[in-house]
Amino acid sequence: MLFRLSPFGAPTVRAVKKEQKHYFHDWNAVRDDGSRFENLIASHLLKWTCYIQDTEGRDVELMYFRDTDGREVDFVVTENGEPVLAVEAKRSDRDVSKSLRYFKARFPTVDACQVSARGEKDFVTKEGIRVMPTVKLLSRFV
């Protein structure tokens, strides 16, 4: 019914180490629109990481990032313990998340994107963060 995500903690950031986030496998069980959207993205990322583990044998894991100052990135996909993808889920495509900008500055090689539930914009910021509609992100997966 539920799955948990552990926090990504790197020595270069003051990340929390023990708190876990919980998501439903069936995101329709979530009543709030914003939380349901985040849960939908979590479910798809989990399915994709499990697929990569099973078919390619790669050591990938779905996590999230939160530091001691309260900055949070909804999802971080790691491979061999190193972040390779950071995803922030937002209801609109207005402002790029400050937490995602912070994370991208600390890990410049990470593919960072912000997906929006209702937005239609598709662009890349000067920091290298791609802002896109949800369908663009989900089309990258199986």
Q: Determine how many CB atoms are found less than 10 A away from the CB of residue 5.
A: 20
Cα–Cα separations (whole angstroms), residue 139 to 21, 43, 45, 74, 104: 25, 14, 12, 19, 23
Check pLDDT > 60 for residue 23. Answer: yes
Q: For residue 21, what are its two tokens?
A: 């986030």
Collapsed DSSP state (helix, strand, coil) of residue 39: helix
pLDDT of residue 86: 97
Cα–Cα separations (whole angstroms), residue 30 to 13, 14, 116: 31, 31, 18
pLDDT of residue 79: 97
Tens-place pLDDT, residues 80-134 = 999 999 999 998 878 899 999 999 999 999 999 999 998 888 999 999 999 999 9
Q: Determine how many CB atoms are found less than 10 A away from the CB of residue 20.
A: 12
pLDDT of residue 28: 81
Cα–Cα separations (whole angstroms), residue 109 to 45, 83, 89: 20, 9, 20
Q: In what order do the strands lie in the sheet with 111-116?
A: 21-24, 2-7, 60-66, 72-79, 82-90, 111-116, 129-133, 123-124
